[in-house]
Copies of this chain bind each other. A is one copy, B any other.
Amino acid sequence: MLGRILTSLLPTITAKAHCDLPCGVYDPAQARIEAESVKAIIGKYDASDDDAFRQRCVIIKEQRSELVKHHLWVLWTDYFKPEHLERYPQLHDQFWKATKLAGAGGTKGSMDAEVAQQLLDKIEEIATIFRETKKA
């Protein structure tokens, strides 16, 4: 609480870079787009009974889930600063759970569209915080 009040007195924070220069450009949309892809792939998998096509689904879901993890990790380490953590102490845990949701215990290991939706919801929670920090 106090952290939140103190932070609101701080000068505007300018976002720093997904390229780790930092260039100053970050966007949770990168993780979201890949997660949407994961969810769509699961839908296509369910609708098909062609073996080779379903194997392609598994391959591509694996790659796209990995990209979700990567984009989230970059956002967590490179964009967020100590002052954000003070204001949003749950951030570490949210990123940890979100990346786990894109891993073996999440969309990599599952063909359940519900799991993909949970991942999308988690990313949206993070995106909401991200937008708040940009407005701050």
Q: Which residues of A contact B (CB under 8 A)?
A: 15-25, 27, 29-30, 33, 36-38, 40-41, 44, 52-60, 62-64, 66, 69, 73, 76-78, 85, 92-93, 96, 99-100, 103-104, 108-109, 111
Residues of B within 8 A of A85 (CB): 96
Residues of B within 8 A of A21 (CB): 40-41, 44, 56-57, 60, 104
A98 to chain B, nearest CB (A): 9
Q: What is the bound-complex CA distance between A49 and B105, given in angstroms? A: 17
| Chain B residues closer than 8 Å to A99, beta-carbon distance | 73, 77
Distance (whole angstroms) from the CB of A78 to the closest CB of chain B = 6
Tell whether, in the assembled complex, residue A78 and residue B62 are in contact, meaning their CB atoms are under 8 Å apart.
no
